[in-house]
Chain A
Amino acid sequence: MTAHPSDELLDRALVRALQDGLPRVRQPYHAVAERLGIAPDIVFARLRAMLAAGAIRRIGVVPNHYRLGWIANGMSVWDVDDALVDALGKEVGALECVSHCYRRPRRLPLWPYNLFAMVHGRARTEVEEKVAEIALVLGGAARAHDVLYSTRILKKTGLRFGG
Chain B
Amino acid sequence: MDDIDRLIIGTLQGGFPLCDRPFAAAAAECGIAEDELIARVDRLLADGTLTRFGPLFDAEKLGGAFTLAAMQVPAADFERVAAQVNALPEVAHNYERAHPLNMWFVVATETPEAIAPVIGRIERATGLAVFAFPKEREFFVELKLPA
Contacts and interface: CB of A to CB of B under 8 A. Distances in A.
Given A30-B20, A63-B50, A154-B103, A111 B56 contact: no
A94 to B, nearest CB: 7
B147 interface: yes
Contacts of B59: 159, 161
Q: How large is the interface on B (under 10, 10 to 19, 20 to 34, 35 or more residues)?
A: 35 or more
Contacts of A22: 16, 53-55
A145 interface: no
Interface in A49-70: 50-51, 53-65, 67-68, 70
- Classify the interface of chain B: helix, strand, loop or mixed: mixed
B29 interface: no
A57 B101 contact: no
Contact of A107 (B12, B92, B131): B131
Contacts of A86: 137
Given A15-B57, A75-B104, A155-B86, A51 B18 contact: yes
Given A63-B145, A68-B49, 5 more contacts: A57-B56, A57-B57, A103-B139, A153-B94, A154-B105
27 contacts: A15-B62, A18-B54, A21-B45, A26-B21, A26-B24, A26-B34, A57-B142, A60-B12, A61-B41, A61-B50, A64-B49, A70-B145, A75-B97, A98-B140, A102-B136, A102-B137, A104-B133, A105-B133, A148-B101, A150-B96, A150-B97, A151-B98, A152-B96, A153-B93, A153-B95, A157-B93, A161-B110
